[in-house]
Amino acid sequence: GAVVSQHPSRVICKSGTSVKIECRSLDFQATTMFWYRQFPKKSLMLMATSNEGSKATYEQGVEKDKFLINHASLTLSTLTVTSAHPEDSSFYICSARTTGRIQETQYFGPGTRLLVL
Amino acid sequence: DQQVKQNSPSLSVQEGRISILNCDYTNSMFDYFLWYKKYPAEGPTFLISISSIKDKNEDGRFTVFLNKSAKHLSLHIVPSQPGDSAVYFCAASVGSNYKLTFGKGTLLTVNP
């Protein structure tokens, strides 16, 4: 299957700092990547859809100025949590949609655990 | 408003027996359904999918059944193995939208 990586896997930061999370598709090009957030014992909640070369589309209730998304290339999307606060602590997961295949699906990265102190 | 529902938070089965995980949806526009497996602190792993034009898709030990009239799908794992123990998420999307809506997941425990 397709491989998606995320970096870092875990990050601890102080309140008020910004954190950047990278999502890479390693063996395929992804015109579309998605960013999810998962709270403990909850489902994955889609935050935004990232399209290469254009602005991200945010889901209702997600602050676009707080969660900056950049999709500069067909293999890389970044999520920057700006001025992080303890309530931003969560598990962030990206996925990349394959193209040119008969069966479309999304492949997920391993996730990034963010803890804001 | 939860459009994809997995009403069983957990399921426990014996090794070698069949595991049946259920999922219901409310949005009749959904036409593509997927099952993902997830271990703690890891991203979901794609297992199997089904388009609304089918009612069954099989891949090895995994079979997904879709009942559109009931807005219900299920994942059958047979025979179940201890390594199958994980959280299983059901997800759905609308055509070319590709935005996935996930259920809350079902924790499957396969006992040796």
Are the C-beta atoms of residues A23 and A110 closer than 8 Å to each other?
no
Handedness of CA A103, B97, A4, B39 (dihedral sign): negative
For position A100, what pLDDT does the model report?
A: 54
> Residue written as tokens 């870092």?
A8
Residues within 8 A of A (CB atoms), B 36-65 only: 36, 41-46, 49
Q: What pLDDT, in 10s, does the model give residues B27-38? A: 999 999 999 999
Facing B104 at nearest CB: one of A42, A49, A106: A42
| Residue A100 distance to chain B (closest CA, Å) | 13
Q: What is the pLDDT along chain A (117 residues), one digit of tens a residue?
A: 678 999 999 999 999 999 999 999 998 888 889 999 988 777 889 999 988 888 899 999 999 999 999 988 889 999 999 999 999 999 999 999 876 544 557 889 999 999 999
> A44–B46: do the CB atoms touch at under 8 Å?
no
> A43–B105: do the CB atoms touch at under 8 Å?
yes
Q: What pLDDT, in 10s, does the model give residues B84-94? A: 999 999 999 98
Q: What is the pLDDT along chain B (112 residues), one digit of tens a residue?
A: 689 999 999 999 999 999 999 999 999 999 999 999 998 878 888 899 999 999 999 999 999 999 999 999 999 999 999 999 999 999 999 876 678 899 999 999 999 9
Contact of B23 with chain A, judged by CB distance below 8 Å, is answered with no
Calculated CA dihedral for residues A32, A35, A41, A42, nearest 10 degrees: -80
| Residue A114 distance to chain B (closest CA, Å) | 11
Q: Is A53 left (phi over 0), alpha (psi -120 to 50) or beta?
A: left
> A42–B99: do the CB atoms touch at under 8 Å?
no
